[in-house]
Amino acid sequence: MENKQTILNNLPNYYGTESYHKVTLFPILATDGVAYLLQACEAFWLIDEIGGMIMQHNKKWQQKGMVFFKLKKSDPMIGDDNKAVLSVDDGNGNLLDSKYIDYTDFPLDEAKIWTSWDGERWIAMLPSEY
């Protein structure tokens, strides 16, 4: 796992993608930035969680075209730095679903992954790659 500061320094370098990566069994392709995030944070579980949530609501979310995921770690000041919440909204602040993550060693305080339906599959991207 790369250290937090290295990851934070590298993420702004992703503002488009040259290729798409199959990183999960779900019908989701990741951009270069998401593939980097998953590898650097050793967090392929995150795309699996996103895929599971998408499949649970697939038809409804396909009609929206895009949904926006955010992993937010709990506040280390209150001793919950290894817990997190994965939430998804419609881009207008309307919460569509959320999931409590009982334990994670994810190195960042939060991560945002946007997903877009292209008519055949979901594309997972960093906000800077949209």
* pLDDT reported for residue 81: 77
* pLDDT reported for residue 75: 66
All residues at 6 or more sequence positions from 3 whose CB lies less than 8 Å from its CB, including other chains: 107
Q: In which domain, by residue range, is 24 found?
A: 4-129
Residues 27-69: pLDDT tens digits? 999 999 999 999 999 999 999 999 999 999 999 999 999 999 9
pTM of the model: 0.94
Residues 84-116: pLDDT tens digits? 999 999 999 999 999 999 999 999 999 999 999
* pLDDT reported for residue 74: 82
Domain count across the chain: 1
Instruction: State the average pLDDT over residues 5-30.
Output: 96
CA dist 59 → 13, 109, 122 (Å): 33, 31, 12
* pLDDT reported for residue 65: 96
CATH code (residue 102): 3.10.450.150
